[in-house]
A and B are shown apart, each in its own frame.
Chain A
Amino acid sequence: EDKVVQSPLSLVVHEGDTVTLNCSYEVTNFRSLLWYKQEKKAPTFLFMLTSSGIEKKSGRLSSILDKKELFSILNITATQTGDSAVYLCAVVSGAGSYQLTFGKGTKLSVIP
């Protein structure tokens, strides 16, 4: 059975701190890994990663994938209170499947 594990499950930081969120996976026929941000509503897309070692960046957020070690990290620099959310990692795997297998998420709280 495919498995996606995120750590830590929750994290409290002060504004301006840098955080690293972790996602490890055990799946068959890995195709892609996606990061989403969820703020009490629909998950909103952040990044899709398919190749190892290529960093994706968007403003203060960046992410990288290691397909050999089967993990990804999401970095957020200079955190702001608006970054407070649950960050979800999901993997697409399998030959003909398109379903996302999600981790439980990391709940990030940024305090002023």
Chain B
Amino acid sequence: DTGVSQDPRHKITKRGQNVTFRCDPISEHNRLYWYRQTLGQGPEFLTYFQNEAQLEKSRLLSDRFSAERPKGSFSTLEIQRTEQGDSAMYLCASSLGLGRQETQYFGPGTRLLVL
């Protein structure tokens, strides 16, 4: 399967714990995006990378959230001191990165439940 992959698919944690999610984009895709989706809502943008550079961050991305893409390939999203309000599906997407009008392809998501 050469699509976007995410790990883990599900995560249950206790409030206050730190969690880290991984995303592997489609090979040769230069742009990588993180979104968060809660029940009954469309995905909300969190942040985006062009290669290893983090170029855009949403105001939704509080200082407890940090994302990295150290070698311009896979990316990690870490949430520190999790809160119950962080419970959501975290989606990763990637696109080629060659133009201004591009399709973003999504991974299966990591479903986080904070108890």
Contacts and interface: CB of A to CB of B under 8 A. Distances in A.
Given A98-B31, A99-B48, 15 more contacts: A36-B106, A42-B106, A43-B106, A45-B103, A45-B105, A48-B101, A50-B101, A88-B42, A88-B43, A98-B33, A99-B58, A100-B93, A100-B104, A102-B42, A104-B42
B45 A100 contact: yes
Q: Is the interface of A mostly helix, strand, loop or mixed?
A: strand
Interface in B33-48: 33, 35, 40-45, 48
Contact of B101 (A41, A90, A92): A92
Contacts, number: 58
7 A-B pairs with least C-beta separation: A102-B42, A99-B45, A42-B106, A32-B101, A42-B108, A43-B106, A102-B43
A107 B106 CA distance: 19
Q: Which of A42, A88, A92 has its CB near the most chain B CB atoms (within 10 A)? A: A42
Interface residues of A, number: 24
Interface of A: 4, 31-32, 34, 36, 41-45, 48, 50, 88, 90, 92, 97-105
